[in-house]
Amino acid sequence: MELLPLKVPQRLLHGTLDPTVPVEQSRSLEARARERGDDAQLWLLEGAGHFDVIAPFAPAWRRVEEAVRSVLATPSG
């Protein structure tokens, strides 16, 4: 958080069943990034665990692809 603002679009993907990282950590990062002027969005992935966002075979992977596309489609992305 000390590095904010990053001045690049950010999509924070967080599984609702993540037992490793509390969702509040991602919420705090999103809020702080926005406060400092960054385009940050938290995308909660229903039913996803901690590693589902890096596993192309996981059901959550479709949302990961959407997040990447959304960043690439932004004017600064």
- What does the pLDDT look like over 45-67, one tens digit per residue? 999 999 999 999 999 999 999 99
Stretches where the chain sits below pLDDT 50 are none
So what's the pLDDT on residue 75?
A: 74
Coil, strand or helix: which one is 74?
coil
Following DSSP, what letter does each residue of 1-57 receive, concatenated? -TT----S-EEEEEETT-SSS-HHHHHHHHHHHHHTT--EEEEEETT--SSGGG-TT
Q: Cβ–Cβ contacts within 10 Å for residue 39, how many?
A: 19
Structure tokens at 69: 């596309």
